[in-house]
Amino acid sequence: MPTTSAHRHAAPPRAGGPRARPPAAAAPGAVPSAYAPMLLAAVIAAGALPVLAVWWHDTLPIALHTPGGYVTALGRLTGLLAAYLLLALTALMARIPLIENRIGSDAAARVHRALGEYTVALACCHALLIIVGYAQAAHTSPLSETVTLELDYPDVLMSTAALGLLVWIGVVSARAVRAKLAYESWYFIHLYVYLAMALAFSHEFANGADFISSSRNRILWSAAHLAVAALWLVYRVALPAARSARHTLRVARIVPESRGVVSVYLTGRDLERLRAEPGQFLRLRFLARGHWWQCHPYSLSAAPNTRALRVTVKDLGDASRATARLRPGTRVWFEGPYGAFTARRRRARKVLLIGAGAGITPVRALFESLPGRGADVILLYRAGHHHDLPLYAELEAIARRRGFGLYPLLGPRDAPGGDPLRPEALRAAVPDVAEREVFLCGPPGLTAAASAHLRAAGVPRARIHSEAFEL
């Protein structure tokens, strides 16, 4: 364990040691993390085209001859797009394996967060535009028209409740609010989105001009909702239930690693059938008092084997703190394994791993399991102080056994010498950094800054694979 207050480099690995054969190309469908959010956004945008076509087909030219007609038509369009995005956002969180394990849970969460803001904005615009458009057509004030819509039109009160729920969820998801809110509170508030969807669906069929007069549109829209509901039930309920029953995971033991950090060893049946990979994570629900109603994601912190799985938990709140007090034998309901932060994305022979905070857990599993020898694999472990280096003794043992490079980078980002991950520091520590595949995991701020530094150091964007861990 390093003891300096700045940062120390381990001795560079010898370049003449035996090397593994170059790895095969990434598995078909494995998307570089730099492009994963763009791919998801493009697919969702393509899915909006039929929605636009329905709106255009059902918008009569005569309706666009007056200012009120234009405003009402825009109100219908924003309402359709908001409803479509709400459906797409639900599908993103359905734990679909293609998305979770080929594109990445982290990418899906980022797209979900970004599009969620647009969804709430479009829903608010829909309500305002419809009120103004109807008021102009009826030659009344917007306030008077609001009262008329709420009291005289079917299911408008329900849609108002749905809009209120969406705004509430949007407010608690804002970064400034989310940082002060317990994960459990944030999670349970998010469950109200399903109630909002049900209320909005009823409103769409009761008042939507695109659905009232078209049985075809009603059938297609209902089919889309049923398809997303089926995906959600299969991958969020049925598959986890089947896997939990089949593998009967239990807590085997709890091992303290460092200050506020413990490793949880899990045993079960037929663990090889899970096909878990280093770098992936599980969503665990411990069936113990005070735990059973919470489900939290934890990365595998060691390469999985047929006997046991291990996750390492850092004290980041009440739930993670209570994990250290779990008793051996506790049953575990789980989802997964999930995640695309795996060797499937590796294309280059040489690899650079960068880990920080809770992000060291998947990086440690990769460090143990990646093929190679000597300088093929180098790990930069970023932390503010030597007390903040959990699992470091294990990493040292792996580095000695396999000849890999291990570089602990200690100190604050605003230290006199500058950020240890700045481009010139990266090139000094790893001279061939531009030739390497990079796997980067840590807090969002560090991940974003390190990605920019890596690009400035000459690493192509397609070779930087990142996963952000909220702290």
The pLDDT confidence band at residue 9, using thresholds 50, 70 and 90, is very low
Question: Residue 445 has what pLDDT?
Answer: 85
Picking from 55-69, 76-90, 120-134, 175-189, which range would have the lowest pLDDT averaged per residue? 55-69
Q: Is pLDDT of 2 > 70?
A: no
**Rounded distance between C-alpha atoms, residue 53 and residue 47, angstroms:** 11
- Residue 98 CA: distances (Å) to CA of 30, 36, 72, 94, 159: 9, 12, 39, 11, 33
Mean pLDDT, the chain, integer = 86
Question: Residue 19 has what pLDDT?
Answer: 36
Q: Say whether 346-468 and 248-338 share the same fold.
A: no
Q: Where are the domains of the chain?
A: 36-242, 248-338, 346-468
Q: Is pLDDT of 231 > 80?
A: yes
Task: With beta carbons less than 8 A apart as the criterion, state whether 279 and 366 touch.
Answer: yes
Q: Is pLDDT of 22 > 60?
A: no
pLDDT in tens, 259-277: 888 999 999 999 999 999 9
The pLDDT confidence band at residue 63, using thresholds 50, 70 and 90, is low
Task: With beta carbons less than 8 A apart as the criterion, state whether 382 and 442 touch.
Answer: yes
- Residue 274 CA: distances (Å) to CA of 113, 334, 336: 29, 11, 8
Q: Is pLDDT of 30 > 70?
A: no
pLDDT in tens, 384-400: 887 788 999 999 999 99
Q: Is pLDDT of 7 > 60?
A: no
Task: With beta carbons less than 8 A apart as the criterion, state whether 218 and 211 touch.
Answer: yes
Which of the two residues, 178 and 98, has the higher pLDDT score? Answer: 98
Mean pLDDT over residues 82-106, rounded? 92
Helix 215-233 to helix 67-92 angle (10° resolution) is 30
**Rounded distance between C-alpha atoms, residue 465 and residue 451, angstroms:** 9
DSSP string of 30-53? PPPTTTHHHHHHHHHHHHHHHHHH
Question: Residue 8 has what pLDDT?
Answer: 37
The pLDDT confidence band at residue 89, using thresholds 50, 70 and 90, is very high
Mean pLDDT over residues 417-422, rounded? 81
Question: Residue 470 has what pLDDT?
Answer: 55
Question: Residue 271 has what pLDDT?
Answer: 94
Question: Residue 3 has what pLDDT?
Answer: 32
Q: Is pLDDT of 178 > 50?
A: yes
- The structure tokens listed for 344 are 């499937």
Residue with tokens 């059973």: 292
Residue type present at position 437: E
Question: Residue 25 has what pLDDT?
Answer: 41
Question: Residue 133 has what pLDDT?
Answer: 92
Which three-class secondary structure state does DSSP give residue 439? strand
CATH topology for the 346-468 domain: Rossmann fold (3.40.50)
The pLDDT confidence band at residue 317, using thresholds 50, 70 and 90, is low
The pLDDT confidence band at residue 318, using thresholds 50, 70 and 90, is low
- The structure tokens listed for 158 are 């329900």
The pLDDT confidence band at residue 20, using thresholds 50, 70 and 90, is very low
pTM of the model: 0.82
Q: Is pLDDT of 456 > 80?
A: yes
State the CATH class of domain 248-338: mainly beta
Residue with tokens 């405003």: 71
* Percent of the chain scoring above 90 in pLDDT: 55
Q: Is pLDDT of 338 > 90?
A: yes
